Amino acid sequence: EAQVTQNPRYLITVTGKKLTVTCSQNMNHEYMSWYRQDPGLGLRQIYYSMNVEVTDKGDVPEGYKVSRKEKRNFPLILESPSPNQTSLYFCASRLSGTAYEQYFGPGTRLTVT
């Protein structure tokens, strides 16, 4: 089954404790992206990757890091999480080209206390 998976689905952590949210897709998509969803703000892009070893900042990259060492994986790293990073996070992937729809993972709900 074609899908994007994220782990963990739920995470409660404390300020400053480094964490990684994994994202993996099995569709051989070149493009992958991370979004955060906050009430009243819709989804905002954090980072994106056009292909392996090619990543760049989206609209709200502060406090996050990413890497793309393999085509299928695109982890999101919070090196020192803060309460303002409490949010619902989505990973997405698609084929190269803006005409294609993005496939989204199930979401990771992160709470930073």
Partner 1 sequence: AQKVTQAQTEISVVEKEDVTLDCVYETRDTTYYLFWYKQPPSGELVFLIRRNSFDEQNEISGRYSWNFQKSTSSFNFTITASQVVDSAVYFCALSEALNFGNEKLTFGTGTRLTIIP
Per-residue exposure over 1-10, b if at least 16 CB sit within 10 Å of its own CB, e if not: eeebebeeee
- Taking the least distance from each CB to partner 1, the nearer of 22 and 104 is 104
Stretch that binds partner 1, among 12-20, 21-29, 65-73, 91-99 (CB under 8 A): 91-99
Task: Assess 56 for contact with partner 1 (CB under 8 A).
Answer: yes
Give the count of beta carbons closer than 10 Å to the beta carbon of residue 32. 27
54: tokens are 């090619």
Q: Secondary structure of the chain: what % helix, strand, coil (to 5)?
A: 5, 50, 45
The answer to whether the CB of 30 falls within 8 A of the CB of 51 is yes
Task: Assess 1 for contact with partner 1 (CB under 8 A).
Answer: no
Binding-site string for partner 1 from residue 18 to residue 37, where x marks contact by CB under 8 A and - marks none:
-------------x-x-x--
Task: Assess 58 for contact with partner 1 (CB under 8 A).
Answer: yes
Which residues form the interface with partner 1 (CB under 8 A)?
A: 31, 33, 35, 40-45, 48, 50, 56, 58-59, 88, 90, 92, 96-99, 101-104, 106-107
